[in-house]
Amino acid sequence: MNVRGIHPSTNQAIDIETKGGLVEHVRLSDESAGPFVSPGWIDLQVNGFAGVDYNDPASPADQIARSIDIQRSTGVARLYPTVITGSRQDMIGSLCNLARARRDLANGGAMLGFHVEGPWISPRDGPRGAHPKPHVRPPTVGEFERFQEAAEGNVRLVTLSPEHAEAPAVIEHMVASGVVVSIGHTDATASQIADAIKAGATMSTHLGNGAASMVPRHDNYIIHQLADDRLYAGLIVDGIHLPPPFAKIAIRAKGPDKAILVTDAVAPAHCRPGLYKLGEQEVELLPEQRVELASSRRLAGSALSMDRGIENSMRFAGLALFQSTRLASSNPGKAMGLEDRSGYLEPGQAADFTVFRLSTEGRVEVERTITV
């Protein structure tokens, strides 16, 4: 298979030859025009999409397949369906359901693995975000193993708060089993964050969100994660979760190698305004594309798609197109330790591509997403 397009870094036309699911050669092309091509975009945090809730153990497989296809229309080639805090029964049921879908669906391979976000998070209002408080609990190795068994070994990313005394030992266990651990929904101190990193945590989940509305101006868990160069940072760049100046500062602080675009999308993403479900909770998509818990009006995930996130990162942070698409492709690949998804249109990389145009107004228009 050959793919032709404009390289976002050089603006040169290129021909990409693939073999066996990998890029074999990248050559300059005689063609002078056409769409851009980048590595396929990867979403590390997506709770649902197109009306489908990944936190519902009864979500039909055909609807999960449809949601994957619609995400591909927004440029996402691969994703990590995300299961949030709930009862042990519901979380295990959701992971079992997703594992069956990954195994059985024709497009199930789009799910590179699963992201378990909670239940081992802060019980405190603010840092807990939209996660239901009755189900928040300390981490245990035993519960992690039950989640992993239900997921058929596909849990690849776990978000937890290091404020739990049990966190370092559980982090060490998960990292030793090949899981990436991310700090999130936390009220942890600087020393607790440092202990989590020492134990093997390498990411921050939607940094700047899942936080109290007021924190100490200098000594706080956002600053400590932002300043630590060892941590990748997922960012929801929708203009709702993060004010544009914070998104700009966070991307600059993490630099071009450690910032990652995530959507944190929930079921109402790509849908009309109205009421939807996020696990056991009812959420509402408002006309301004804000998703809130119907009960408390707290933010509850997003309606963001990755193409809009790339647009916003260029507009808010002044990134070039090449830089912005790295935040959605090679950076999440590196964060997850995927060698074949850590480069940018290089031989040996996975043959997933997002082909798109950029309008004069800066709008990303996806033409097709190619996966092998």
Task: State how far the Cα of 372 lies from the Cα of 369, in Å rounded to an integer.
Answer: 10
Task: Return the CATH fold of 40-341.
Answer: TIM Barrel (3.20.20)
Non-local (6+) Cβ contacts of 23 within 8 A are 16, 17, 345, 346, 347, 348, 349, 350, 351
Report the mean per-residue pLDDT for the chain: 96
Domains of the chain by residue range: 40-341
Q: Which two tokens stand for residue 121?
A: 């998070």
pLDDT digits (tens, 9 = 90+) for 306-348: 999 999 999 999 999 999 999 999 999 999 999 999 999 999 9
Choosing from 53, 187, 238, 264, the catalytic residue is 264
Q: Kindly report whether the global pTM for this prediction surpasses the value 0.85.
A: yes
Q: How far are the Cα atoms of 70, 90, 150, 229, 367 from residue 106, in angstroms, in the given order?
A: 14, 25, 21, 39, 21
Q: Tokens standing for 312?
A: 């916003």
Query: How many CA atoms within 13 Å lie on the side-chain side of 97?
Result: 23
Where helices occur in 228-329 by DSSP H, the ranges are 244-258, 306-317, 321-326
Q: What phi and psi, each to the nearest 5 degrees, are found at residue 50?
A: 55, 40
What mean pLDDT do residues 339-368 have?
A: 97
Per-residue pLDDT, 36: 97
At residue 278, the 3 state secondary structure works out as strand
Reported confidence tier of residue 1, pLDDT bands at 50, 70, 90: confident
Cβ partners under 8 Å of residue 265, min gap 6: 43, 46, 47, 48, 49, 301, 302, 303, 304, 305
Catalytic annotation present for 219: no
Report the SS3 class of residue 204: strand
